Amino acid sequence: MTESANMPELVPSVRNSRALSAGIKPLLVLSKIRGILDAFTLAEPELTLAEIRARTGYPTSTVQRLVANLVAEEFLDRVGDRVRIGVRMAYWASPATAGLDVLDAVTPALEALRDQTGETACFFRREGVFRVCVALAETYHAIRREMHVGKIVPLHVGSAGRVLLAWDDTALKEVLAEGLPGFTDATITDPEVLRAVVEDTRRAGFAITAGERDEGASGVAAPVFDSRARVLGALMISGPTFRLTDERCRECAEEVVRAAEQATRMLGGRLPF
């Protein structure tokens, strides 16, 4: 961990919407439409009108009217008594994703996650039996866990490594074949224990670890997938354990999973289930 002078402890979360130019009045209906579209997730791509109303907080009449119009204009498609994002949207989205690389997709998610949790958010990719930090949004806290682009960490330690192993059987086999060196008392060095916690991670959809690589440091990570449902990387938050306690990590897990899903969606990815 390092100290950084003259830095604010926290900054307010950034707005999800971009600011309008001076003199342009907002169209409130567009905000409501966005709210409906944002209600859908990769895990729950189909919703009933009641579920949309519960997630948006809009009146029933507003949901019915907007959904009917969105279906008519092909923003949404009907599937029985449910609706989902329209197939036409993929056609409109294709020019936006053309030429979009991984860093372009994950950076907004990292910045939003940093602002929501207050901790450093980073993205790791697998390189053999190691993981490498390829992008990050650093915390505004003065006391922080040391993290930088290019940092290399063994795959068998930490929440990001746990996630990368959970959805990559080849990586797990290679790591087990290499052996599991210890770094702290919390490092998992037993192959059977590692297999068990990796399976737990796959079931949960995220990983929480503390002190496996650096004593006094904790992390929460979730997977990002590509269009073939292969794990592309692990998006995580990292910080000192006195702030990222086990309770706080569990509170942040939903936000980390949501940010990883945002990156997956930006990349045109899909979940492997």
Residue 144 has pLDDT above 80, yes or no: yes
Distance CA 101, CA 149 (A): 17
Question: What's the pLDDT tens digit per position in 13-61?
Answer: 333 566 777 778 888 899 999 999 989 887 788 999 999 999 999 999 9
Residue 7 has pLDDT above 60, yes or no: no
Distance CA 167, CA 2 (A): 32
Percent of the chain scored above 90 by pLDDT? 71
Query: Of 202 and 42, which is predicted with more confidence?
Result: 202
Token pair recorded at residue 154: 């063994």
| Range in 86-90, 141-145, 242-246 the model is least confident about | 86-90
Q: Are 103 and 134 in contact (CB under 8 A)?
A: yes
Nearest residue to 249 (alpha-carbon basis) of 233, 238, 235: 238
Set out the domains of the chain in order of their start, with CATH numbers. 28-95 (1.10.10.10), 99-266 (3.30.450.40)
- Strand 120-127 versus strand 231-240 pairing type: antiparallel
pLDDT score recorded for residue 130: 95
Residue 94 has pLDDT above 70, yes or no: no
Token pair recorded at residue 243: 């702030």
Pick from 93-102, 104-113, 187-196 the range whose average pLDDT is largest. Answer: 187-196
DSSP codes of every residue in the chain: -EE-TT--S--PPPPSSPPPPTTPPP-HHHHHHHHHHHT--SS--EE-HHHHHHHH---HHHHHHHHHHHHHTTSEEEETTEEEE-THHHHHHHHHHTT--HHHHHHHHHHHHHHHHSSEEEEEEEETTEEEEEEEE--S-SEE----TT-EEETTSSHHHHHHHHT-HHHHHHHHHH----SSTT----HHHHHHHHHHHHHHTSEEEESSSSTTEEEEEEEEE-TTS-EEEEEEEEEETTTS-HHHHHHHHHHHHHHHHHHHHHTT-----
pLDDT band for position 87 (50/70/90)?
Answer: confident
Q: What is the mean pLDDT of residues 251-255?
A: 96
